[in-house]
């Protein structure tokens, strides 16, 4: 099978971690008889340096022609980088919003898994983390506060900023449907998160998630206020299967979930549209303070590549091979510095990619 993959290496540690994910993609392709064809694309600060904007229309078209896009981290140090002296629409992160909207990437999937081998890196008490946990955060990605009308103007002599949170029923229905579909492949439970005691948008959210649930009688649906959900994530994360939520709540909750897994460097991400196309990226930032040091954790990006095999190419066996290899490397005691603990073996970015590739080859040869 020919896999046409757009690659956005991005900024900071982005090129380092994407290189390792590409190494794993190539290894899986070689083992299973596929061919990876890469198209290099620029976005974020790297695009600003070349084109003066964080994302060009030409790059969007090249991405659209790909089967899927693998992306690293975007952005730099907001205090020191010249990128952040530009107006907001020209800064690196504006490229993220533009590509999500342009490619209609409305469904963001962020799995948060605590591996048994990493429970020592989790900040929660051992009795909470015993046995690990596995949840999927389903975040609506192209609506809500981040895409609503905004303004900053003088009102009655005072500078006043306004951001508008808007959702319509179609946007809610489609993300709810995707959440229920994912739940059907997991443990058949959806926790829909809202702020319905305050927000009209949340009350509409509840109405149409309830309506969508009628088509999925096997799935248990519960509603939870966002502040309670934030507390429950650190009190009892094992209760969650699929967390379904709007854009801003999902942004915050998924970062919280990443930390209870031990490191944001472990959190993969997929952003999907209504076809098989998806953009796959780690959930962490560009970490410019460690860029070039060879110590960044590439596992989130590698697991994002596994999600690419699963959701864009329907190659579940290949995705399983990557996920098993990551687990085997962790069981063998190998750690990057962010997940390092006493008695383990500290390795760098490149060696982590190499080790995962070795386990993919080893497991396949055994079979």
All residue ranges of the chain with pLDDT < 70 are 363-367
pLDDT at 262: 72
CB distance 129 to 236 below 8 Å:
no
Q: Quick check: helix, strand or coil at residue 41?
A: strand
C-alpha triplet 345, 348, 263: angle, nearest 5°: 80
Active-site annotation holder among 227, 236, 314, 316? 227
pLDDT of residue 206: 98
3-state SS, one letter per residue, for 97-111: HHHHHHCCCCEEEEE
* 275 and 241 part of one domain: no
Position 360 in a domain: yes
Q: Given 205, 240, 260, which residue is the final one in a domain? A: 260
Query: Is-catalytic flag, 227?
Result: yes
CATH of the domain at 230: 3.40.718.10
Catalytic residue from among 255, 320, 344, 354: 255
Alpha helices in the chain (DSSP H): 14-32, 45-51, 57-65, 92-102, 126-129, 169-184, 200-213, 226-235, 247-260, 299-311, 316-331, 349-366
Q: Which of 260, 282, 311 is the last residue of a domain?
A: 260
143 and 251 inside one domain: yes
**Does residue 118 form part of some domain?**
no
Is this model's pTM higher than 0.85 or not? yes
| 275 and 361 assigned to the same domain | yes
Phi, psi at residue 266, to the nearest 5°? -105, 0
Strand-pairing partners, residue 224, are 193
210 included as an active-site residue: no
* 24 in the same domain as 76: yes
Residues 213 and 237 in one domain: yes
Tokens 């967390």, residue located = 243
Active-site choice (134, 195, 320, 344) = 195
For residue 306, give the 3-state DSSP assignment.
helix
Q: Are 95 and 203 within one domain? A: no
Q: At which of 260, 290, 321 does a domain end?
A: 260
Query: How many structural domains comprise the chain?
Result: 2
For residue 274, is it within any domain?
A: yes
CA–CA separation, 170 and 56 (whole Å): 29
Residue 291 within a domain: yes
**Same domain as 226, residue 300:** no
Which is catalytic among the residues 194, 251, 338, 359? Answer: 251
Q: Has 255 been annotated as catalytic? A: yes
C-alpha span between 367 and 363 (Å, rounded) = 7
- Annotated active-site residue in 115, 146, 334, 359: 146
Which pLDDT score, from 0 to 100, does residue 127 have? 82
Quote the tokens at residue 111: 């799995």
| 98 carries an active-site annotation | no
Q: What is the pLDDT, as a whole number, of residue 125?
A: 84
Q: Classify residue 97: in a domain, yes or no.
A: yes
State the residue range of the domain holding 214. Answer: 123-260
CA distance 146 to 96: 11
Tell me whether residue 181 is one of the annotated catalytic residues: no
Instruction: Kindly state whether residues 146 and 76 are assigned to the same domain.
Output: no
Residue 116 lies in a domain: no
Decide if 185 is inside a domain: yes
Residue 117 lies in a domain: no
Q: CA 51, CA 58: separation in Å to the nearest integer?
A: 11
Q: Are residues 256 and 296 in the same domain?
A: no
114 backbone φψ class: left, alpha, beta (φ>0; ψ -120 to 50)? beta
User: How far are the Cα atoms of 33, 178, 306, 327, 340 from residue 121, in angstroms, in the given order?
Assistant: 37, 32, 23, 15, 8
Same domain, 327 and 236: no
Q: Same domain for 173 and 224?
A: yes
Tell me, yes or no, whether 134 and 70 share the same domain. Answer: no
């Amino acid at each position: 099978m020919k896999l046409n993959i757009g690659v956005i290496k991005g900024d900071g540690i982005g090129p380092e971690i994407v290189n390792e994910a590409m190494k794993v993609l190539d290894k899986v392709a070689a083992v299973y008889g596929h061919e990876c064809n890469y198209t290099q694309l620029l976005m974020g600060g790297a695009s600003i340096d070349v084109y003066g904007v964080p994302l060009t229309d030409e790059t969007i078209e090249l991405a659209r022609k790909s089967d899927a896009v693998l992306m690293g981290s975007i952005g730099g140090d907001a205090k020191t980088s010249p990128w952040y002296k530009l107006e907001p629409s020209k800064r690196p992160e504006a490229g993220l919003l533009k590509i999500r909207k342009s490619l209609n990437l409305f469904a963001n999937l962020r799995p948060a898994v605590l591996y048994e081998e990493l429970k020592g890196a989790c900040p929660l008490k051992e009795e909470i983390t015993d046995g690990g946990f596995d949840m999927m955060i389903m975040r609506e990605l192209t609506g809500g506060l981040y895409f609503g009308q905004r303004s900053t103007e003088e009102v009655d002599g005072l500078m006043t900023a306004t951001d508008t949170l808007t959702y319509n029923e179609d946007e809610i229905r489609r993300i709810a449907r995707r959440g229920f579909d994912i739940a059907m492949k997991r443990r058949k439970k959806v926790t829909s998160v809202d702020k319905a005691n305050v927000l009209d948008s949340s009350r509409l959210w509840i109405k149409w998630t309830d309506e969508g649930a009628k088509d999925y009688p096997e799935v248990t649906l519960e509603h939870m206020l966002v502040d309670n959900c934030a507390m429950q994530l650190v009190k009892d994360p094992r209760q969650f299967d699929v967390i379904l939520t709007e854009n801003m709540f999902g942004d915050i909750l998924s970062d919280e979930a990443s930390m209870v897994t031990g490191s944001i460097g472990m959190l993969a991400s997929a952003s999907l549209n209504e076809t098989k196309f998806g953009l796959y990226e780690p959930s962490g930032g560009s970490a410019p303070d460690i860029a070039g040091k060879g110590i960044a954790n590439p596992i989130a990006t590698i697991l994002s590549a596994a999600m690419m095999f699963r959701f864009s190419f329907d190659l579940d066996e290949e995705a399983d091979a990557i996920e098993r290899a990551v687990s085997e490397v962790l069981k063998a005691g190998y750690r990057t510095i962010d997940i390092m603990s006493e008695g383990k073996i500290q390795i760098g970015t490149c060696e982590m990619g190499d080790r995962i590739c070795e386990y993919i080859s080893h497991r396949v040869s055994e079979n």
